[in-house]
A and B are shown apart, each in its own frame.
Chain A
Amino acid sequence: MATLNSTGGPGVGVLEGNALLGWLYSRRDQILVLLILIAGWHGLSLLLGTYWIGTPWGVAVRLYNGLLNGEIIRHSSYTLAEALAGFAIGGIPAAVLPFLLRRLPIVTAILDPFMVGGYGSPKLALAPLFILWFGIGLESKIALVAFTVFFIVYFSTLSGIRALDTKLVQMAQVMGASEAKVARYIIFPGAVPHIFTGFRIAMPYSIGGAVVAEIISANRGLGYLIQLRSMNFDTTGVFVALVAVCVVVFLSNLVVNVVERRLLRWRPPSDVTAQKE
């Protein structure tokens, strides 16, 4: 996928000297687009009225106030807690199961169509079911997220175990490694990059899932805020909640990426085993 590629023009003396200005200059196209977007937003808001779309400044102020009085933090943490709990409950068994099944290929084969079916089925479409079972609170969202995350991480981990270089296993065996040691020293570290790919893909789904479930039925959380404020025609408030959702997604992705980079320092830069979505 394309990467940022803006070329800076030949440096004008004063800009060359200052690193920050230099950076800004090299990004001038993108900054221009940003300004156009904001101006357009503001123009639209003036044109249609804040009933339909709040002004950029209005959203910023509302966001600031929301942060100050803790409201945004409260609902964000509620949503984040659901996402993380579901992530753990779904992700950890999903990462462990393929290792346990490794020596039982028949069991894996028996399970396969069920797993593929689970992965392919519209998991968010089961939201009403979870709400029916667990009620309007935390638990239904956690269950939904766990269900979604499970299949993603299961398949990533499985492909990681399958992609293993058998020569490494043989090498360890020649050196006297037992089955358990092979699993611990070769298979597990070899599968870790794939497990992390699964985590990386599943993270936004877990937050998105929590938010969607909250939109359908909840009494707390960012999705609840979005729904409530939409009902009240409070578009500025909706935008504030949406910004909060984006920030949560961004931060969680950041954390996963940082952890991944630390854990996988050993990877050669051109390793293509990790798939990007």
Chain B
Amino acid sequence: MSALLEVRGLAKRFASRAGREPSPWIIQNLSFSVNEGEFLTIIGPSGGGKTTLLNMIAQIDCASDGEIRFQSQIAPVNDLKALKPGLDCKIGYVTQEDNLLPWRTCIDNVLFPLQVQGKLNDETKARAQNLIRAVGLAGWENHYPHELSGGMRKRTSLIRTLVYDPPVILMDEPFGALDAQTRLQLQDDLLRLWNLGRKTIVFVTHDIAEAIALGDRAIVLTRQPSQVAGEHRITIPRPRDIRGIMTHPEFVDLYQRIRAQVQ
């Protein structure tokens, strides 16, 4: 079975002014693949181009070289004008900042993609309500983003992407800015929700423990120019206990192996 998402020899550097030296490669010769239903975590140092990578997969930025294949079809990454952000809603993207629309209430934000895609009906509205309840935001639907805490806004941003059910979801350090307690809670929520639908998730983080706790497979990226330094299969069985994961016998071994690869 061929992979759902394939990245081959991807390379990226920003445009340089004519007459000046070309700017350094941010990503070079990056290749990996993601299978359907897989939870892939990508670990890398901050500033290593992880966000750029996700931007390219999500089609909001173009590549300097290489190709990206989605469902065995080549995605138009090389030409700025040919980009199709979100690839017709097949790729969802949970960004680092919550990017909620400040003028909409929590539930209106969650319903936003449905509204844009013309899929707003009773069934989808009910789905939104279920998601709101599932992440513990019940009762806060009619509040504006500035009235919600950071964790609540993150949760809203998360279910906003889940609500329209894209086959692949990209996540860019979504829990990075939260306190440890909230982070554990949200990791738990995420795995629970993922279990219900078994979507394909590509999750970027700089936190090794998080990568091990959440993923089926972890990929380590080098510093700029980023390449794949190594791949690790996470053999810890599911369902996983987020809070107790560190005591699992295989955890320490995995952690040390990954730690050695991350410079």
Contact = CB atoms under 8 A, between A and B. Distances in A.
Interface of A: 165, 167-168, 170-177, 181, 185-186, 189-190, 192, 264-269
B46 interface: no
A269 B102 CA distance: 12
A174 B103 CA distance: 19
Nearest to A190: B103
Given A186-B101, A189-B101, A266-B103, A175 B86 contact: yes
A181 B116 contact: yes
Nearest to A165: B99
Contacts of B164: 175
B58 A174 contact: yes
B152 to A, nearest CB: 14
B144 A266 contact: yes
A264 B104 CA distance: 10
A175 B102 contact: no
Nearest to B145: A266
Interface residues of B, number: 27
27 contacts: A165-B99, A167-B95, A167-B97, A168-B101, A171-B95, A171-B99, A173-B60, A173-B86, A174-B59, A174-B85, A174-B91, A174-B92, A175-B116, A175-B117, A176-B113, A176-B117, A181-B116, A185-B112, A185-B115, A185-B116, A186-B101, A192-B103, A264-B103, A266-B102, A266-B145, A267-B146, A269-B146
Interface string B89-112: 101110101010111110000001
A36 B89 CA distance: 70
Contacts, number: 63
A170 B101 CA distance: 12
B170 to A, nearest CB: 9
B88 interface: yes
B103 A173 contact: no
A266 B58 contact: no
A271 to B, nearest CB: 8
B146 A174 contact: no
Contact of B89 (A170, A175, A189, A264): A175
Contact of A170 (B85, B92, B103, B144): B85
A167 to B, nearest CB: 5
Contacts of A185: 101, 112, 115-116
Given A175-B89, A266-B105, 14 more contacts: A165-B99, A167-B95, A167-B99, A171-B93, A172-B116, A174-B58, A174-B60, A175-B92, A176-B86, A176-B116, A176-B117, A177-B116, A186-B101, A189-B103
